[in-house]
Amino acid sequence: MNKLTVDIGNTSTKVALFKGSQLEWCKTFDNLVATELQMLMDVNNVNHAIASNVTSKSVEDFTSIKGLLLLNHDLKLPFINKYSSPTTLGTDRIALAAATQYFHKGKSCLVFDAGTCLTLDLVNAKNEYIGGTISPGLQMRLNSMHHFTGKLPLLAAKIPEVQIGTNTIDCMQSGAYFGMIAEIEYHIQALRVQYPDLQVLLCGGNAELLSKQLKSPLFVERNLMMYGLHLILQLNV
């Protein structure tokens, strides 16, 4: 049976098609509307779909689509939510926690999503979601340096050419990039003391940029959230 998973993010909307348990394709849209989603379902013979929305955009028009679930805290989840305020946990982080059960069920998992923000989510070997962290993403770090100062330029995220910059642009690129690398490595090393079996997963738009410098063993899957959404959809239809 064909299924669609939809990730409505802060920067763009991603849609993935699953045939059985196989991800066939994943496409990115600047602004997906209900009529376009309905067309994608019809063209691909999809009866069931699920959407995660972490933005302030209204998706009320999506509710008219037959067979579409909007991810919320009342759905069945493939993990035990131990977050102190479970109803405030973002649906993107719910999907990422679910994805750990797709790839490393029965082991402690640490998931990094390097998108607009850098999020960290921890699921232990008992299948319990513990919590995580949220910090500025790579582009957000560069944007904030420009926005909150008078003279620093606005730069696009990239792998810096040098670690120690000899000009303003190189200093900013290196500070943003290697600062995030150090943050990720710190969390991995610190949590491995408590969770020796820790599996590390990395996803998001900047996953490939960051993975080139990270030294800790990890599993990179840019579309990790789609697998989590698919697993949640399977549990609820």
Residue of 7, 74, 92, 121 with catalytic role: 92
Q: What is the pLDDT of residue 1?
A: 84
Residue type, 180: M
- Residue 145 CA: distances (Å) to CA of 119, 151, 161, 205: 20, 9, 19, 20
Task: Please check whether residue 117 lies inside any domain of the structure.
Answer: yes
Q: Indicate the number of domains in the chain.
A: 1
**pLDDT by residue (tens digit) across 108-157?**
999 999 999 999 999 999 999 999 999 999 999 999 999 999 999 999 99
Domain that holds residue 156: 106-222
Q: What is the pLDDT of residue 64?
A: 85
CA distance 202 to 103: 12
Sign of CA dihedral 113, 117, 83, 233: negative
CATH code where residue 149 lies: 3.30.420.40
Query: Which residues have C-beta within 8 Å of that of residue 56, sequence separation ≥ 6?
Result: none
Task: Please check whether residue 8 lies inside any domain of the structure.
Answer: no
Task: Please check whether residue 131 lies inside any domain of the structure.
Answer: yes
- pTM given for the model: 0.91
Task: Please check whether residue 66 lies inside any domain of the structure.
Answer: no
Q: What is the pLDDT of residue 57?
A: 73
Task: Please check whether residue 149 lies inside any domain of the structure.
Answer: yes
Task: Please check whether residue 135 lies inside any domain of the structure.
Answer: yes
Whether 92 is a known active-site residue: answer yes
Q: What is the pLDDT of residue 60?
A: 76
Would you say 125 and 199 are in contact if contact means Cβ atoms under 8 Å apart? no
pLDDT means per 10 residues, the chain with 237 residues, are 91 92 93 90 95 81 89 93 93 95 93 95 97 97 98 96 96 98 97 96 93 91 94 96
Task: Please check whether residue 69 lies inside any domain of the structure.
Answer: no
Other CB atoms within a 10 A radius of the CB of residue 147 amount to 10
Task: Please check whether residue 54 lies inside any domain of the structure.
Answer: no
Dihedrals phi, psi of 101, to nearest 5 degrees: -75, -15
Q: What is the pLDDT of residue 59?
A: 77
Residue type, 57: K
Q: What is the pLDDT of residue 62?
A: 85
